[in-house]
Each structure stands twice: as C-alpha cells, then as structure tokens.
Chain A
Amino acid sequence: MNVTINQEENKFNVVLEGRLDTTNADQFQKDIEPLMTGEKPDITLDCTAMEYTSSQGLRMFLMLQKSVNSRGGSMVMTNMNPQVKEVFDITGFSNIIKII
C-alpha cells in the first residue's frame, strides 16, 4: 500500500494505492501518522487505486475516523472500487465513514 499525503494547513489530500492487508497494516499505521494530529483535520482519502483491504485495513480506517471525530474534523473516502465498497457495506463501515 502506497500512501501519498498532500497537506495544506488542516486539509489533507491522501492518495491510497495498492493492497492493504496484514503484511503492511503496521507500515500503513506509520504512514498515516501525520493524519492523527492537529485540530479539525479535513481529510480526503482518494481510494481510486486502492485494490484491496482486509479487516486489518478496516481497523486502521476505524481508528483514523475515531481520531478525526475526537478532534472535531471530517473525513471522506472517495472513488472506492465495488469490491472494497462491499467490505465497507457488509461491516457497517459505510454508516460510520463517509464514502462518496
């Protein structure tokens, strides 16, 4: 999973590319550390090139959403492929994370 973060003040545009699974979830957690600090973050996760996520990945997104909520921020995931979207739907994550 390749993570590219573009930051302008509290706005984060994040491009996610590749597969998020058990082999790289720890690295992903390190990669998204810049998103875990600061007040009122406004985060967009571009999922166009995210091919896959396992439950390990879901844990990371839930952790991030909780952190964003606690700091009065907002987060949206965009352009998810249908298979990944189904994983978010089945687990109810579509109700707690904004997906457009």
Chain B
Amino acid sequence: MKVLIDPIAGKSAQIIETLMASEDMVDDPALQFKLRLCIEEVVENIVNYAYENGNGYVEVGTEIKGDNLYITFRDSGIQFNPLAKDDPDITLSAEDREIGGLGIFLCKQMMDDISYEYKDGCNNLTMIKKIG
C-alpha cells in the first residue's frame, strides 16, 4: 500500500488509521498495539514538525517482504533525522527525567529495525517489524 496525504495539517488520526487499515496490517492485537504506538510517534513528529503549519505532504506505505512488515514515511519537509537524538536515560528518578524524548526511543525498542535516509530532498523513515 502507498498513500499520499497532502496537506497533512490536522490529519494525524487519519494518517494513523490509514496505515492501521492497510491490507498488510497484522491481526494479532498485541502486535497491532506496538505498531500503532510506533506509527503514532512517527506521524506526530511529521505532522507537527516537518512543515511550517503542516503545509506539505507525507507518503506512507506498508509492504510485506518475507517475514517482515515494512512501514515507510516520506516527506519533503525540514531535514530531520529522528534517530540521531540521544536515547533518554531511563535510570533517572522522576525529578531528573525530562518530559519528552520518549516517542522515537519507544520505536527503537519496539521495532526490529528503524532506519532514516535523506534523499532527493526528502526524509525517508523505514520501520521493520518481524511478523512471521
């Protein structure tokens, strides 16, 4: 599946549900929970930060290759590698923990692979989850 959403302003929920309704989506509720969580984290980042006022597009896709589900995001917004940020220190006390920075960390932990590439003026993020 490949779907283009343009413009993306205010369309987080629609983008998330589009991916969750893909014919490639798994049936297992526990796995769906993880995928939804990771999708939401990425979609929120793109909708809120990729473009000024969300005035741009995102192309989202799903594909099954072998035992793996690939979920892809492409936007032509501000160049931003979400994976470059340091992971939060999860051993700190509540007082020392910062509010935020958890979304991409959760994706890294829950997916089997996550990769980023800036190519032809576009941010490309690919998440892979073993489903077989």
Is the CB–CB distance between B93 and A22 below 8 Å?
no
Main SS class of interface, B:
helix
Is the CB–CB distance between A66 and B13 below 8 Å?
no
Q: Nearest chain A CB to B115's CB is how many angstroms away?
A: 20
Q: Nearest chain B CB to A97's CB is how many angstroms away?
A: 7
Is the CB–CB distance between B36 and A52 below 8 Å?
yes
Q: Nearest chain B CB to A24's CB is how many angstroms away?
A: 10
Count residues of B near A (Cβ-Cβ below 8 Å).
Answer: 26
B110 within 8 A of A: yes
B41 within 8 A of A: yes
Is the CB–CB distance between B109 and A90 below 8 Å?
yes
Tell me the bound Cα distance from A95 to B96 in angstroms.
13
B94 partner residues in chain A, CB cutoff 8 A: 62, 65-66, 69, 96-97
Is the CB–CB distance between B36 and A23 below 8 Å?
no
B37 partner residues in chain A, CB cutoff 8 A: 52, 54, 87
Count residues of A near B (Cβ-Cβ below 8 Å).
Answer: 23
Q: Which residue in chain B gives the minimum CB-CB distance to A82?
A: B30
28 cross-chain CB contacts under 8 A: A22-B12, A23-B13, A52-B36, A52-B37, A54-B37, A54-B40, A55-B41, A55-B103, A56-B44, A58-B102, A59-B100, A59-B102, A62-B94, A63-B99, A66-B95, A82-B30, A83-B33, A83-B34, A87-B106, A90-B106, A91-B88, A91-B90, A91-B102, A92-B97, A95-B90, A95-B91, A96-B97, A97-B94
Given A63-B99, A82-B30, A92-B97: 14 more A-B contacts, CB < 8 Å: A22-B40, A54-B37, A55-B100, A55-B106, A59-B102, A62-B99, A69-B95, A83-B30, A90-B106, A91-B88, A91-B102, A92-B88, A92-B91, A96-B94
